[in-house]
Structure 1
Amino acid sequence: MPDDFGYFGKGLTGYAQYMTAFDRNKGGGKRPSGGKSGCLTTLLLGLLLLSAAIWLV
C-alpha cells in the first residue's frame, strides 16, 4: 500500500479518507433503492387477479 494518498493525506488516515471518498462516489457497492424492482411481479399478480375475477363471473 502506498504511503501518500495526495489530497487525502498520508498513511492509514489518508487511506481511510481516500476509501471513504471512493465509496461515496462509486456508490460503495450499494444497490439503489426503489427503481423498477417488483414491476414484473406486480404485473403478474394483477393478471392473476384479473383472470381469477373473470373465471368467477
Structure 2
Amino acid sequence: MSKNTGDTYLAVGIGIGLPLGAVLGFIIFDELAIGAGIGLVFGITVGTAIDSNKTKKE
C-alpha cells in the first residue's frame, strides 16, 4: 500500500508542478520549456518530500 501512495504523491506533485511551472516559465522567461522543466523538478521534489514525510510517520 505504501508503494501506491508514494506513486500517488509523486504523480500529484508532477501534475501540479508541470503546468504551474510552464505558466510561470512562459510569463517570466517567455519560454514554455524552461518553466516546464523547472516545474517538473519542483513537482518531483515536493511529491518525494510528502511521501517521505508520510512514510516516516507510519
Q: TM-score, normalised by structure 1?
A: 0.40
Q: TM-score, normalised by structure 2?
A: 0.39
Instruction: Say which one has the larger Rg.
Output: 1
User: 1 or 2 for the larger relative contact order (CA 8 Å, sep ≥6)?
Assistant: 2
Which has more helix, going by share of residues? Answer: 2
